[in-house]
Chain A
Amino acid sequence: MNHDDVKSNVLTTTLESAINWGRKNSLWPMPFGTACCGIEFMAVLAARTDISRFGAEAIRFSPRQSDLLIVAGRISIKMMPVLIRIYEQMPEPKWVISMGACASTGGVFDTYSVIQGVDQFIPVDVYVPGCPPRPEGVVEGLMKLQDLVDKEKLSDYSPAPTK
């Protein structure tokens, strides 16, 4: 192998950017669709917007096989323990998109039974506004999340202090 072959066939980079590049372009979403946002999320998957262009087409309905939780819809007090359990079952690294007004703030449902924003209880990375958001909005949120994943540092991944 001569010097020209090495220049045209070998790419040097950091391990960090290689890992982040792989993670951000291969997100495995777990949809938690409880309302009309769940229907709109189906349109995000379909041919017109098609999030497989961003490497996120492998929708898993098992939290153990996914790394992106998409909370789509209002979460009631009966559903919140289920959502917490599903979030905890997802393996690291994991990210959360809160899709729509209800998941982010409770929306118009300011009643005793609706959680006023899931970020009170689980960490949320990206909020997508709208009621429901247009598919383009969800894709914008996904691209914002890809930027976040790209900026992550491996040194930031340190185990949480044990309680």
Chain B
Amino acid sequence: MPTETILSKIKERLPDAVLDITEFAGEHILHVKGQDILKVLTELKDDGFHFLADLTAIDNLTLGGFERFAVSYHLLSHKTTERATVKAYISEEKPSLPSVESLWKTADWQEREVFDLYGIKFEGHPNLIRIMNPDDYDGYPLRKDYPRLGRKERGDFPVIDRPIQKKKRQE
């Protein structure tokens, strides 16, 4: 069954969840509401897209879109070698959506990465803590309104002097 047929059938089955179906560069994209992502991906997994190739997020601050944030799921069917992209839209006020860790174990660390860099919370995730930035880090650096050079985090360390003064070092 071609990808566009699978996606349009999902739209028939879950009319409230699906916002739009688009195509770009030969790849089919299913736009859904964030709260319904687990239902949609369960259906897609049953339809043959059983491999989660990537999970990432997009900040639509300057791009425009259904909502501020989109979590993007890249699925692959090993049987038909077809690919499908699912974008789940969530608002800036409540950036949270269900975790898909129950479907794919690989989503565990990828959802932690999205949480670390975008501040998107995944409900039901077993261990939603920062994965790359320091635990006491404040802010979500890949959000478009975060300054590129940070908020002086990189200069915020104690300056260590030489324990023994070497006065004539410069000569």
Tell me if A11 counts as interface (CB < 8 A to partner B).
no
Residues of A within 8 A of B166 (CB): 152, 156-157
Tell me if B160 counts as interface (CB < 8 A to partner A).
yes
Known contacts A93-B164, A156-B166, A157-B166; is-contact A112 B148 (Cβ 8 Å):
yes
B162 touches which of A115, A116, A123, A151 (Cβ 8 Å): A123
Tell me if A59 counts as interface (CB < 8 A to partner B).
no
**Would you give the 0/1 interface string for B132-171, flagging 1 where the beta carbon is closer than 8 Å to chain A?**
1110010001000011111101111111111111111101
Count residues on chain A whose CB falls below 8 Å from chain B CBs: 29
Known contacts A77-B134, A111-B148, A112-B153; is-contact A158 B165 (Cβ 8 Å):
yes
Whether the pair A156, B167 counts as a contact (CB closer than 8 A) is: yes
Whether the pair B134, A78 counts as a contact (CB closer than 8 A) is: yes
Closest Cβ–Cβ distance, residue A15 to chain B (whole Å) = 17
Q: Which residue on chain A has the smallest CB distance to residue B151? A: A112
Whether the pair A114, B163 counts as a contact (CB closer than 8 A) is: no
A120 touches which of B148, B155, B162, B163 (Cβ 8 Å): B155
| A78-B133, A112-B153, A151-B171 given; 17 more Cβ-contact pairs under 8 Å | A77-B133, A77-B154, A80-B157, A87-B160, A92-B163, A111-B149, A112-B141, A112-B148, A113-B141, A113-B154, A115-B154, A115-B157, A120-B155, A152-B166, A156-B167, A157-B166, A158-B165
